[in-house]
């Protein structure tokens, strides 16, 4: 006897119970698939002239322009290869500020002189004008009344995906302003390359290029597709807006690294094969802490490529999941009461001579190099902690940062006991020239010991938002949905500026104070260690005590996106981006607008979905169940001789409790809607965003309390929404 309201739920459950794992064939060796759909070096050798290859290589290493004639050659080679791979279309693949990727497909097919042909020339490869005027631009394109165009990024190889040749591109306005996430990332990577190369030359003159490296770790939830489609909150907002905690959540931690369910194994195998073909070097997969939560991580790559690969991966995941009748949830907090998802960004700097600059070496000089990059990174993070926080701010990530779940909204760095001891010793070095004895001591006892220290450095602190993990830093607050380009742009820009300042100061000490190079370096590092001390924290980052301590240290603690985004336009931040040639003040301001606007839109959608869920599903279901109760009570009264006291009977009590929550639910939704309407009337995006954060969003939890209580109190067959225990199970 299902009710009309719960029909959808029970149908979905019946459908999902029939799903079985989809078989996936495996090649003997996965490596045989690797990059088969990528126009990489090997394909270039096959399809391009030597001249064209070197033009592409120069463009990659030094950013030089590719002549029209050579671009035509490259396009011709790409086209031939792509058609052999089954491509019929090509697209400029770009990263608008919405956070995902966009593409507009054009067919190779064309008519020329009355003949049907496949055409793709240098002009089409290099530049395209998509009709993309409705992507968020923060007002830039209105101001300049210009449309955006996409331009080829030769440093990320083209690939064939399905039947389309995809060409990674930047998206800019005619006046040159960046309208995407890739253009500023490329500028930041260029800035950090220049700055880091000139510092690396102190230690090795043969270094000519430094690449930032990125290894992301993508966390996600998987749920059955029929179940996902039966809840409008999941389909429209990517998360459950309501839902009483399941009797069994993650408390037993039996999911973590546990046996992967067979339907999920099928999905993962196909996904990994698809990644291989597309050149995404995925390596590890495992269950995460929460039920239905998983993680996928690749071998790290050059940061721009790693960003492209992560975005492509998310798209591939959606498509492969669909084939397996599953849905991927990338939202940072799809379920209350169990862990959310993040995307740790492992970051380092690597030279073209093959050295990881954040990895200690075998000689004191190599270790001084390590210390230089290590301490400069700490200093950069200390200077721009609030900007880094802003770079990972979003409505969905607010459920993790600064909420009851880690990592906190406060930036701090964990480096471990041993490295802390090294920095403490370095801090005690004298200023100016060093005595021969001090030099020997430094070499033997401090710098010389670093490799041994790191060998057995098992020191790990899982609560730190920015942790040194042996040969890289791990930025942990990045949201699972976030485009890594955003935090990577800020981090690399900040480190670039810091390294520039460092170089200037070291050179000054050498030229003006007559210090030796290593003395000068020690001197400057010593000062940085002192002045960036507040950012270092080894304790429990989730504790309340740390929040208090961080406030004393004047570290920012920006709990909501609107607050975090506000710091983007602070004078120091405008200067940073301008000085490093990454974003003009106009571009930065536009991005701030886009972030506030996105926050408003996401929260607004959630508010509307709450309204719909409550008015069209929960309240009617509750009323129909209370009807049953009332019916029962009146029947009892008919058959019993004495009139039952409503308050005394179980039926009566149940009715009143439910009724109380029905009232509370209606009232809180109405209050929220009023607050929402009021917020919409405010003049600026900033005001609207702040009002949504302070007036609208807090009402969501009140609504939720009442709805979740109703779920608990009402009969199962009357309840319209799939329950947590039903959503969180896959065989
Ligand atoms: P976990 O954080 O899960 O314990 P690891 O510490 O082994 O795992 O980190 C693995 C991630 O770090 C992988 O994605 C890997 O590619 C990345 N990584 C390793 N070395 C570097 C590096 N030099 N630069 C950037 N990322 C790196
Ligand atoms: Mg990690």
> Is a pLDDT exceeding 60 seen at residue 257?
no
What's the confidence (pLDDT) of residue 308? 98
Query: Tokens 């009264």 label which residue?
Result: 637
| Interatomic CA distance for residues 214 and 348, integer angstroms | 7
What's the confidence (pLDDT) of residue 248? 67
In the chain, where are the structural domains located?
A: 34-177, 189-597, 598-727
Pocket probe for ligand 1: among 217, 284, 488, the residue whose CB has the most ligand atoms within 8 Å is 217
Task: Confirm whether pTM is higher than 0.85.
Answer: yes
257 Cα to the center of ligand 2, angstroms: 14
What tens digit of pLDDT does each residue of 202-255 get?
Answer: 999 999 999 999 999 999 999 999 999 999 999 999 999 999 987 766 665 566
Pocket probe for ligand 1: among 214, 215, 465, 469, the residue whose CB has the most ligand atoms within 8 Å is 215
Residue nearest to atom 26 of ligand 1 (CA): 215
Q: Give the pLDDT band (50/70/90) at residue 260.
A: confident
724 Cα to the center of ligand 1, angstroms: 33
Instruction: Give the CATH architecture of domain 34-177.
Output: Roll (3.10)
Query: Tokens 């004047």 label which residue?
Result: 554
What pairing do the DSSP bridges indicate for beta strands 473-475 and 466-468?
A: antiparallel
- 349 Cβ below 6 A of ligand 1: no
Identify the CA nearest to 304 among candidates 396, 202, 176, 168.
168
Torsion of CA 499, 504, 508, 510, to 10 degrees: 50
The mean pLDDT value for 421-439 works out to: 87
> Is a pLDDT exceeding 70 seen at residue 131?
no
Query: Which has the minimum average pLDDT: 187-191, 538-542, 707-711?
Result: 538-542
| Interatomic CA distance for residues 160 and 87, integer angstroms | 7
Residue nearest to atom 4 of ligand 1 (CA): 469
What tens digit of pLDDT does each residue of 627-666 get?
Answer: 999 998 888 888 876 656 777 788 889 999 999 999 999 9
Backbone φ and ψ for 431, nearest 5 degrees, come out as: -80, 160
Residue nearest to atom 14 of ligand 1 (CA): 215
Query: Tokens 């929960």 label which residue?
Result: 618
- 214 Cβ below 6 A of ligand 1: yes
- 472 Cβ below 6 A of ligand 1: yes
- 347 Cβ below 6 A of ligand 1: yes
What pairing do the DSSP bridges indicate for beta strands 159-161 and 293-298?
A: unpaired
What tens digit of pLDDT does each residue of 365-389 get?
Answer: 788 999 999 999 999 999 999 999 9
Residue nearest to atom 13 of ligand 1 (CA): 215
215 Cα to the center of ligand 1, angstroms: 6
Q: Please indicate whether the domains covering 189-597 and 598-727 agree at the CATH topology level.
A: no
What's the confidence (pLDDT) of residue 254? 61
> Is a pLDDT exceeding 80 seen at residue 467?
yes
475 Cα to the center of ligand 2, angstroms: 9
Q: Are 55 and 29 in contact (CB under 8 A)?
A: no
Helix (H) or strand (E) holding 410: none
- 332 Cβ below 6 A of ligand 1: no
Backbone φ and ψ for 482, nearest 5 degrees, come out as: -60, 145
Where does 455-603 show beta strands of DSSP type E? 466-468, 473-475
What tens digit of pLDDT does each residue of 562-589 get?
Answer: 999 999 999 999 999 999 999 999 999 9
What's the confidence (pLDDT) of residue 447? 79
> Is a pLDDT exceeding 80 seen at residue 618?
yes
| Interatomic CA distance for residues 101 and 310, integer angstroms | 11
Residue 458 burial (C-beta neighbours within 10 Å; 0-12, 13-18, 19+) = exposed
Identify the CA nearest to 415 among candidates 529, 557, 545, 542.
529
Q: Which ligand is nearest to the CA of 309?
A: 1
292 Cα to the center of ligand 1, angstroms: 23
| Interatomic CA distance for residues 14 and 20, integer angstroms | 13
- 471 Cβ below 6 A of ligand 1: yes
The mean pLDDT value for 189-206 works out to: 97
Distances in whole angstroms, Cα of residue 228 to Cα of each of 255, 614, 620, 723: 21, 18, 22, 11
Atom of ligand 1 nearest to the CA of 217: 14
Q: Which ligand is nearest to the CA of 351?
A: 1
Q: Is 730 left (phi over 0), alpha (psi -120 to 50) or beta?
A: beta
What tens digit of pLDDT does each residue of 444-463 get?
Answer: 777 777 776 666 565 678 88
Tokens of 181: 């996430």
659 Cα to the center of ligand 1, angstroms: 53
What's the confidence (pLDDT) of residue 403? 67
Tokens of 127: 């530049």
82 Cα to the center of ligand 1, angstroms: 33
Torsion of CA 640, 642, 645, 646, to 10 degrees: 30
Atom of ligand 1 nearest to the CA of 344: 2
- 288 Cβ below 6 A of ligand 1: no
- 346 Cβ below 6 A of ligand 1: yes
Pocket probe for ligand 1: among 297, 342, 460, the residue whose CB has the most ligand atoms within 8 Å is 297
How many helices (H) and strands (E) in the chain?
A: 27, 17
Torsion of CA 571, 574, 576, 582, to 10 degrees: 180
DSSP 625-660: HHHHHHHHHHHHHHHSSSPPPTTTSHHHHHHHHHHH
Q: Which ligand is nearest to the CA of 357?
A: 1
- 351 Cβ below 6 A of ligand 1: no
Atom of ligand 1 nearest to the CA of 300: 16
- 685 Cβ below 6 A of ligand 1: no
| Interatomic CA distance for residues 688 and 699, integer angstroms | 16
> Is a pLDDT exceeding 80 seen at residue 337?
yes
Pocket probe for ligand 1: among 218, 280, 370, 472, the residue whose CB has the most ligand atoms within 8 Å is 472
Instruction: Give the CATH architecture of domain 598-727.
Output: Up-down Bundle (1.20)
What tens digit of pLDDT does each residue of 684-718 get?
Answer: 999 999 999 999 999 999 999 999 999 999 999 99
Residue nearest to atom 6 of ligand 1 (CA): 469
Identify the CA nearest to 269 among candidates 215, 320, 218.
320
- List, in sequence order, every residue forming a beta bridge with 339; answer none if it has no partner: none
- 137 Cβ below 6 A of ligand 1: no
- 299 Cβ below 6 A of ligand 1: yes
Query: Tokens 């990489």 label which residue?
Result: 40
What pairing do the DSSP bridges indicate for beta strands 343-351 and 413-414?
A: unpaired
641 Cα to the center of ligand 2, angstroms: 69
Apex 413 CA angle, 358 and 346, nearest 5: 50
What's the confidence (pLDDT) of residue 146? 59
Tokens of 184: 């500023």
What's the confidence (pLDDT) of residue 574? 98
532 Cα to the center of ligand 1, angstroms: 25
637 Cα to the center of ligand 1, angstroms: 70
What pairing do the DSSP bridges indicate for beta strands 413-414 and 466-468?
A: parallel
What's the confidence (pLDDT) of residue 255? 60
> Is a pLDDT exceeding 80 seen at residue 86?
yes
Instruction: Give the CATH architecture of domain 189-597.
Output: 2-Layer Sandwich (3.30)
The mean pLDDT value for 416-430 works out to: 89
């Amino acid at each position: 006897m299902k009710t009309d309201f719960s029909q959808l739920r029970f149908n979905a459950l019946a459908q999902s119970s029939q799903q079985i794992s989809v078989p996936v064939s495996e090649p003997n060796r996965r490596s045989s698939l690797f990059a088969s759909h990528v126009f990489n070096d090997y394909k270039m050798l096959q399809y391009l002239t030597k001249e064209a290859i070197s033009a592409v290589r120069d463009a990659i290493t030094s950013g030089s322009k590719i002549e029209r004639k050579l671009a035509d050659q490259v396009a011709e080679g790409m086209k031939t290869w792509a058609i052999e791979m089954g491509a019929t279309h090509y697209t400029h693949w770009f990263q608008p500020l919405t956070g995902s990727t966009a593409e507009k497909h054009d067919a190779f097919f064309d008519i020329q002189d009355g003949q049907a042909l496949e055409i793709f020339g240098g002009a089409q490869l290099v530049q395209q004008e998509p009709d993309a005027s409705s992507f968020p631009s923060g007002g830039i394109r209105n101001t300049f009344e210009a449309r955006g165009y996409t331009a080829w990024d030769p440093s990320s190889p083209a690939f064939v995906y399905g039947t389309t040749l995809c060409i990674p591109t930047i998206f800019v306005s005619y006046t040159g302003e960046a309208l995407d996430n890739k253009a500023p990332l490329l500028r930041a990577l260029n800035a950090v390359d220049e700055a880091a190369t000139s510092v690396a030359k102190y230690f090795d003159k043969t270094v000519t290029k430094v690449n930032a490296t990125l290894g992301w770790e993508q966390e996600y939830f998987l749920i059955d597709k029929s179940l996902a489609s039966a809840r409008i909150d999941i389909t429209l907002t990517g998360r459950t807006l309501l839902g009483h905690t399941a009797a069994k959540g993650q408390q037993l931690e039996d999911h973590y690294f546990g046996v992967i369910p067979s339907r999920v194994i099928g999905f993962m195998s196909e996904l990994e094969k698809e990644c291989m073909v597309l050149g995404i070097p995925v390596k590890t997969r495992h269950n995460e802490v929460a039920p239905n939560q998983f993680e996928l991580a690749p071998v790290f790559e050059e940061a721009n490529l790693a960003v492209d690969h992560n975005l492509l991966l998310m798209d591939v995941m959606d498509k492969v999941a669909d084939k397996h009748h599953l849905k991927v949830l990338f939202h940072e907090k799809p379920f209350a009461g169990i862990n959310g998802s993040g995307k740790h960004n492992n970051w380092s700097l690597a030279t073209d001579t093959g050295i990881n600059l954040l990895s200690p070496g075998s000689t004191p000089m190599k270790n001084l190099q390590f210390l230089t990059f290590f301490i400069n990174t700490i200093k950069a993070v200390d200077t721009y902690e609030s900007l880094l926080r802003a770079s990972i701010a979003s409505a969905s990530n607010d459920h993790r940062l600064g909420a009851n779940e880690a990592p906190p909204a406060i930036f701090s760095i964990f480096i471990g006991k041993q490295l802390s001891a090294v920095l403490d010793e370095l801090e005690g070095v004298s200023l100016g020239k060093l005595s021969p004895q001090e030099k020997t001591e430094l070499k033997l006892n401090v710098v010389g010991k670093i490799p041994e220290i790191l060998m057995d450095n098992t020191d790990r602190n899982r609560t730190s938002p920015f942790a040194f993990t042996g040969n890289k830093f791990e930025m942990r607050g990045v949201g699972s949905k976030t485009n890594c380009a955003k935090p990577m742009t800020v981090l690399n820009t900040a480190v670039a500026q810091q390294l520039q300042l460092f170089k200037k100061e070291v050179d000054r000490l050498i030229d003006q104070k007559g210090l030796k190079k290593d003395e000068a370096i020690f001197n400057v590092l010593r000062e940085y260690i002192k002045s960036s001390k507040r950012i270092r924290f080894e304790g429990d980052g989730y504790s309340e005590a740390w929040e208090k301590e961080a406030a004393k240290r004047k570290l920012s603690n920006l709990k909501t996106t609107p607050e975090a985004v506000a710091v983007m336009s602070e004078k120091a931040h405008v200067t940073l981006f301008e000085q490093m040639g990454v974003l003009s003040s106009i571009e930065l301001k536009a991005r701030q607008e886009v972030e506030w606007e996105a926050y408003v839109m996401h929260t607004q959608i959630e508010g509307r979905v709450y309204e719909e869920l409550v008015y069209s599903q929960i309240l009617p279901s509750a009323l129909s169940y209370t009807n049953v109760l009332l019916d029962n009570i009146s029947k009892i009264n008919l058959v019993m001789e004495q009139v039952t006291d409503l308050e005394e009977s179980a039926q009566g009590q149940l009715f009143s409790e439910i009724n109380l929550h029905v009232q509370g639910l209606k009232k809180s939704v109405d209050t929220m809607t009023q607050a929402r309407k009021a917020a919409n009337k405010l003049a600026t995006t900033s005001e609207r965003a702040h009002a949504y954060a302070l007036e609208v969003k807090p009402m969501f939890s009140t609504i939720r309390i009442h709805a979740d209580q109703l779920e608990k109190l009402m009969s199962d067959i009357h309840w319209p929404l799939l329950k947590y225990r039903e959503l969180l199970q896959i065989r």
